[in-house]
Amino acid sequence: MHSANKGIQRIGHKSGLPLMPAVASMSTLPKFAKTPKPPYYAVIFSSQRTEGDNGYAQMAERMVELASQQPGFLGVESVRDTDGFGITVSFWGSVKAIAAWKANLEHLAAQEMGKQKWYEHYELRVAKVERAYAKP
Amino acid sequence: MHSANKGIQRIGHKSGLPLMPAVASMSTLPKFAKTPKPPYYAVIFSSQRTEGDNGYAQMAERMVELASQQPGFLGVESVRDTDGFGITVSFWGSVKAIAAWKANLEHLAAQEMGKQKWYEHYELRVAKVERAYAKP
């Protein structure tokens, strides 16, 4: 459950590599993002998938992995129903962090594939989270 | 599809009643909310349902109907997967509109039921949408 997963774990200290996020996919992330106290930013991405996978699932996993390694990444929550309609909300520390992620070269390639193949339609909204509550 | 549904329809002119929104449920709303140019507000509600319906589905439909009748309501996008994890984003014209909806008596009763019965956990974030894009 969400409370059992402490979020992003870090590896690398035994190999001598710098500490790196070890998040590999949505399936290893908690469902609920452990965001800090506001203010911070949310990117709300609503999308309708086209028919067929066409390489989408693999790229989606890779984009979560890549996003979680970006400076300012705070977490992500994502859900898609059986009709292919989904909402993914990623959380960021600043507008600058969002802009850098948008301009990431591997992400740019994925964005282009999204427009051309994977999404029938999408809406993307950048919003500043001002208040937050959770179930007590 | 989203482009075929023109959003909230209004009835009542034949009955002599004031014009009222006729939105009855999520199923009659477009998947994508037709929001105006920013700025406007988003309420991002992420939730994990408990097991069993326990009156949830009927209340969820009623809350969408009721929300869509509130001043300042701009639209809603909602998705839940087969594991019971869902994200609902409702859009509002102002913080004041959100506060009024939060304080609606029928909504308050539903919120209490949500805490007690329907949600294992939830996170609610109020955010100001500053920029928006859509698939061209």
Taking contacts as CB-CB distances below 8 angstroms, the residues of chain A near B124 are: 132-134
Residue A15: pLDDT band by 50, 70, 90 thresholds?
Answer: very low
Length of chain B: 136
List strand residue ranges (DSSP E) for A38-98, in order: 40-49, 73-80, 85-92
Cβ distance of B125 and A132 shorter than 8 Å: yes
- Residue appearing with tokens 């996978």: A53
The pLDDT of residue A93 is 98
Q: How confident is the model at residue A27 (pLDDT cuts 50, 70, 90)?
A: low
Q: How far does B16 lie from chain A, in Å, by closest CA?
A: 38
Compute the nearest-CA separation of B15 from chain A (Å). Answer: 37
pLDDT of residue A16 exceeding 80:
no
Structure-derived torsion over alpha carbons of residues A5, A11, A14, A19, reported in degrees to the nearest 10: -130
Interface of B with A (CB under 8 A): 1-3, 31-33, 35, 38, 42, 44, 46, 48, 77-82, 85-87, 89, 115, 119-136
Interchain pair A134, B128: CB under 8 A: no
Residue B5 has pLDDT above 80, yes or no: no
Position B116, amino acid: Q
pLDDT in tens, B27-62: 667 899 999 999 999 999 999 999 999 999 999 999
Q: How far apart are CA A110 and CA A87, in angstroms?
A: 17
Question: For tokens 């390489």, what's the residue?
Answer: A55
- Kindly report the number of other CB atoms within 10 A of residue B37's CB atom: 8
Q: Indicate the residue of A46, A79, A135 with minimum beta-carbon distance to B115.
A: A135
Looking at residue B30, its pLDDT comes to: 87
Q: Kindly indicate whether the ipTM for this predicted assembly is greater than 0.85, answering yes or no.
A: no
* pTM for the model: 0.82
Question: What's the pLDDT tens digit per position in A92-114?
Answer: 999 999 999 999 999 999 999 99
Given B42, B86, B136, which is nearest A125 (Cβ)?
B42
Determine the residue among A1, A2, A31, A130 to mutate to test chain B binding: the one whose Cβ has the most chain B Cβ atoms within 10 Å: A31
